[in-house]
Amino acid sequence: MNDLEPQYLTIHGHEVRYFRAGEGPALLLVHGMAGSASTWKATMRLLARDFTVIAPDLLGHGRSDKPRTDYSLGAFAAGLRDLLIATDIERATVVGQSLGGGIAMQLCYQHPEQVERLVLVSSGGLGREVSALLRVFTFPGSEYVMPAVMNSYVRDAGNVVSQFLHRAGVRAPSVEEKWKAYVSLCGGENRQAFVKTLRSVVDISGQSVSAHDRLYLSRHLPTLIVWGERDNIIPVEHAYAAHDAMPGSRLEIFEGSSHFPQSEEPERFAAVLRDFMDTTDAAQLDPAAWREMLLGTAS
């Protein structure tokens, strides 16, 4: 992140890298599968003017440790809970992109007392459809084939091309994000964590985990949904379906973006998120109301 210094915490014996900047209401930014906190770098600089912004590398990703452990949504959500506690952040607006959206929703469900608002960006967990390539990687034995196409030779050649285009002033944020994900998977530990994470949420027929049966719980929680209209990893139709299932949610479609609107249109993304923060009140958990919603007796 260039001008942002990484910080490190050891939680449950595993080192976690994260970036923190700014002061004010807290924003927790959660990246997607095979990604890292760097996906938020442009947005983070803009938002740090008004907010405390914290962006971790999830376990198994980026520069955080990659142990042989549980990479389920629930485990990631528990890890974020612990990170907030360890960094003295009592409550936060949780912003999750792709896999990070699924983790954000799981955090809201498991630990609603810590979440003030929810922002879903090209989120997983809202429908079956997902890119064919991700489904292929769930095949038994795919982890043994991956090294043949994800290796240092291809990585180094691609980096040469990437550097040439960068010097020439060519900017393609979506391609850059996908390339960074590919590069990360050239490491053996990264691939193992990736496969375990992927298989916890996707199978050969598509996404295997859905939040739709619990979206009604969001009625107490200000929610923003952001999606790129040209998303070719998770279709934009999921955004419209989620918006319909979450009364009171706000929907923003970025016509010029694909799967990474926070990187492709960072100024617009930051402006939309700032407006959402300014025009909504942080949720306050009412245990009695939460119980009524779970039992279906809420009015």
Active-site entry in 122, 231, 243, 249: 231
Are 114 and 285 a contacting pair, CB within 8 Å? no
For 173, half-sphere exposure in the C-beta direction (CA atoms, 13 angstrom radius) is 18
DSSP 8-state class, residue 87: T
**Rounded Cα–Cα distance for residues 75 and 64 (Å):** 15
| Cβ count within 10 A of residue 248 | 12
Is 231 among the residues known to form the active site?
Answer: yes
Sequence-separated (6 or more) residues with CB below 8 Å from residue 292? 298
Active-site entry in 36, 38, 64, 98: 98
Is 98 among the residues known to form the active site?
Answer: yes
| Cβ count within 10 A of residue 38 | 21
Q: What does the angle CA 282 – CA 82 – CA 20 come to, to the nearest 5 degrees? A: 70
Nearest to 193 by CA among 69, 47, 7: 69
For 176, half-sphere exposure in the C-beta direction (CA atoms, 13 angstrom radius) is 18
Active-site entry in 61, 238, 243, 259: 259
Are 229 and 253 a contacting pair, CB within 8 Å? yes
Write down the residue that tokens 């971790």 correspond to: 56
Furthest C-alpha separation in the chain: 61
Tokens representing 151 are: 């290796």
The CA–CA distances, whole Å, from 214 to 58, 126, 189, 197, 242 equal: 24, 11, 33, 22, 11
Nearest to 113 by CA among 72, 74, 71, 84: 84
Residue 15's φ and ψ, nearest 5 degrees, are -80, 130
Active-site annotation, residues = 98, 231, 259
